[in-house]
Amino acid sequence: MNPTALVLLDSFGIAVFAISGALVAAERRLDFVTFVFFAVVTGVGGGTLRDLLIGAPVFWVHTNGTLVICIAAALLVWIASRRRFAGRALLWFDAAGTAAYATYGAAKALGYGVAPMPAFVMGVLTACAGGIIRDVLAGQPSVLMRRELYVTPAALSAALFFALILLGLAVWPAAAIALVAGFALRGGAIARGWSLPAYRE
């Protein structure tokens, strides 16, 4: 797999998740240090859990770049006009991060020799864990409790990336297709309230 493609995909996922974390701090009008805290926790949370489970070095511990991305995301939200992030911006940034991180998480797990099904699960876990941690720390209902699709778009991105790689597609087009598909499904859920049937006794 093309390592440059995966690094760029990882950086994109970190950035958009970090922005979503900083947006939570912005909604509560918190101080800049707390902005950075939420950006870092959201940006690295899912990837940290993934790396611990697959036996990889935790990705942000031995490099400065990841924390720089998170701090820059917090600063961007801090200085930007609140009106630019009004409405449902948090959900859309979260949607982009979910699709990107699901794709990257599955790819990294495969690269570490994880079996296909667990690699798929690692993709979903990478995509969802950061947002869940963010919501718990913010004391707000988890995004998992919303009716619209959340885990399903992450699963679609991870599964589609894996399927396309097996079919012989190069990393970049496979990642792009998987990312767009997951984002489109999550976007439809945000815009139109798409959801799976709920459990009924």
In angstroms, what is the C-alpha Rg of the chain? 16
DSSP string computed for 62-84 = T-SHHHHHHHHHHHHHHHS-GGG
Task: Quickly list H helices, the chain.
Answer: 3-27, 32-54, 65-79, 89-111, 116-138, 151-166, 171-192
179-193 pLDDT, tens digit each: 999 999 999 988 888
Average pLDDT, stretch 40-59? Answer: 95
Average pLDDT, stretch 142-161? Answer: 86
Question: So what's the pLDDT on residue 124?
Answer: 94
Which one, of 198, 27, 179, lies nearest residue 95 by Cα? 179
Rounded to 5°, the CA angle 131-166-12 comes to 30
What's the distance, Cα to Cα, between the start and end of the chain in Å? 46
Cα–Cα dist 186/73, whole Å: 22
Tokens of 176: 């792009």
Rounded to 5°, the CA angle 11-15-17 comes to 120
Rounded to 5°, the CA angle 128-108-156 comes to 45
CB atoms within 10 A of CB 37: 18
Say whether pLDDT at 1 is over 60: no
197 contacts: CB under 8 Å, gap ≥ 6? none
Question: So what's the pLDDT on residue 81?
Answer: 59
68-77 pLDDT, tens digit each: 999 999 999 9
Where in the chain are the domains? 3-192
Inter-residue contact 137 to 38 (CB < 8 Å): yes
What CA dihedral angle connects 75, 80, 82 and 88, to 10 degrees? Answer: -80
Considering the entire predicted model, what is its pTM? 0.85
Tokens of 151: 């885990």
